């Protein structure tokens, strides 16, 4: 692996412990002003000190995030549908050229694959195109798997989608936590982070992050369970403590409650 790819990956996966807290705020690319991100800058800026990586769209980056920011970026580069398009939701293609990603000085790019959907082929071919483009410049690609409805988020499906992503060239895979998650980790040759999914009680989201780490995930790429929390700053602090400070779920939840306004 070339120095450049290793250097960019070290911005995403922290060398000190091989873990990462990625803050996903790319939801607007198909959800518009989703709850919590109505004023993205006001939500995100207080969270940045506790995140290792920010995952925005290019428009969010250019319109809401200061170019002075030191946080590395994992840029959303697939899209093409909205939540209004129920039948074709997440039938995605490339929405950002690798040249624009380079202009934005990103450390990685993220692309969704929809294994199991009727249009899976389009997303997989788009994914491999962006991998070829990114590899020319030693930019790692994070595969976003299983976002969307009716895909069955069990170990059998998630290990299929995660392994396919790795086989097709992903450097990191984002998927969801599930029972027997060890199987997903053990059958995937590249690091895995978990998405948070729809908002659940903070105690449950903290437990999920802990369980995922215990099962071999290297961290989280979490959005709604942080920016839709009753206290987003306290929540990202708690998640960070689980990922980087070996806090137990109870310790982390106590931290959340103690910091909550
Ligand atoms: C969908 O909007 C994106 O792929 C998100 O990056 C991903 O779902 C992680 O966000 P959340 O934790 O809100 O599911």
The CATH number corresponding to 3-259 among 3.40.50.1820, 3.20.20.70, 2.40.50.140, 3.40.1080.10 equals 3.20.20.70
**Which atom from ligand 1 is nearest to the alpha carbon of 27?**
2
148 C-beta closer than 6 A to ligand 1: no
| 50: DSSP letter | G
Query: Ligand 1 centroid to 234 CA: how many Å?
Result: 19
Beta carbons of 133 and 99 less than 8 angstroms apart: no
Nearest to 53 by CA among 35, 65, 39, 42: 65
pLDDT the model gives residue 184 = 98
Ligand 1: does its nearest atom lie under 6 Å from the Cβ of 76?
A: no
Q: How far apart are the first and last CA of the chain?
A: 45
Does ligand 1 come within 6 angstroms of the Cβ of 147? yes
Helices (H), the chain: 3-12, 28-31, 40-44, 58-64, 98-103, 120-135, 155-168, 181-186, 202-214, 224-227, 232-244, 249-259
Distance 67 CA to ligand 1 centre (A): 23
Print pLDDT tens along the chain (261 aa).
899 999 999 999 999 999 999 999 999 999 999 999 999 999 999 999 999 999 999 999 999 999 999 999 999 999 999 999 988 889 999 999 999 999 999 999 999 999 999 999 999 999 999 999 999 999 999 999 976 666 778 999 999 999 999 999 999 999 999 999 999 999 999 999 999 999 999 999 999 999 999 999 999 999 999 999 999 999 999 999 999 999 999 999 999 999 786
Ligand 1 pocket test, pick from 33, 90, 147 with the greatest ligand atom count within 8 Å of Cβ, gives 147
Pocket lining: 216 vs ligand 1, CB cutoff 6 Å:
no
Dist CA 196 CA 176 (whole Å): 7
Residue matched to tokens 């039948």: 87
DSSP character at residue 137: T
Q: Is the beta carbon of 224 within 6 A of some atom in ligand 1?
A: yes
Best of 195, 196, 200 to mutate for ligand 1, by most ligand atoms within 8 A of CB?
Answer: 195
CA 103 – CA 213 distance, rounded (Å) = 34
- Residue 16's pLDDT is 98
Neighbours of 261 (CB within 10 A): 6
DSSP class per residue in 57-74: -HHHHHHHS-TT--S-BE
Name the residue of 114, 174, 221, 227 to mutate for ligand 1: max ligand atoms within 8 A of Cβ: 221
Query: Domain segments of the chain: what residues?
Result: 3-259
Contact 26, 64 (CB under 8 A): no
Q: Where in the sequence numbering do the catalytic residues fall?
A: 174
């Amino acid at each position: 692996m070339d120095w450049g790819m290793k250097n960019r990956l070290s911005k995403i996966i922290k060398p000190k412990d091989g873990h990462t807290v990625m803050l996903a705020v790319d939801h607007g690319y198909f959800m518009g002003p989703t709850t919590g991100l109505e004023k993205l800058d006001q939500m995100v800026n207080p969270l940045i000190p506790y995140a290792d990586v920010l995952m925005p769209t290019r428009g969010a980056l250019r319109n809401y995030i200061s170019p002075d920011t030191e946080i590395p970026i994992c840029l959303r580069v697939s899209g093409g549908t909205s939540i209004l398009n129920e039948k074709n939701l997440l039938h995605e293609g490339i929405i950002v050229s690798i040249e624009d990603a380079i202009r934005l000085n990103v450390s990685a790019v993220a692309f969704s694959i929809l294994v199991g959907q009727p249009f899976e082929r389009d997303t997989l071919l788009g994914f491999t195109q962006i991998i070829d483009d990114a590899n020319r410049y030693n930019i790692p690609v994070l595969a976003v798997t299983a976002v969307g409805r009716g895909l069955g988020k069990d170990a059998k499906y998630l290990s299929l989608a995660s392994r396919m992503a790795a086989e097709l060239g992903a450097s990191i895979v984002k998927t969801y936590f599930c029972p027997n998650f060890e199987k997903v980790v053990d059958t995937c040759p590249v690091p895995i982070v978990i998405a948070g999914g729809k908002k659940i009680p903070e105690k449950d989201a903290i437990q999920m992050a802990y369980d995922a780490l215990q099962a071999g995930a290297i961290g989280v790429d979490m959005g709604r369970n942080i920016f839709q929390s009753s206290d987003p700053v306290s929540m990202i602090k708690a998640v960070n403590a689980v990922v980087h400070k070996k806090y137990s779920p109870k310790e982390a939840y106590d931290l959340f409650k103690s910091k909550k306004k």
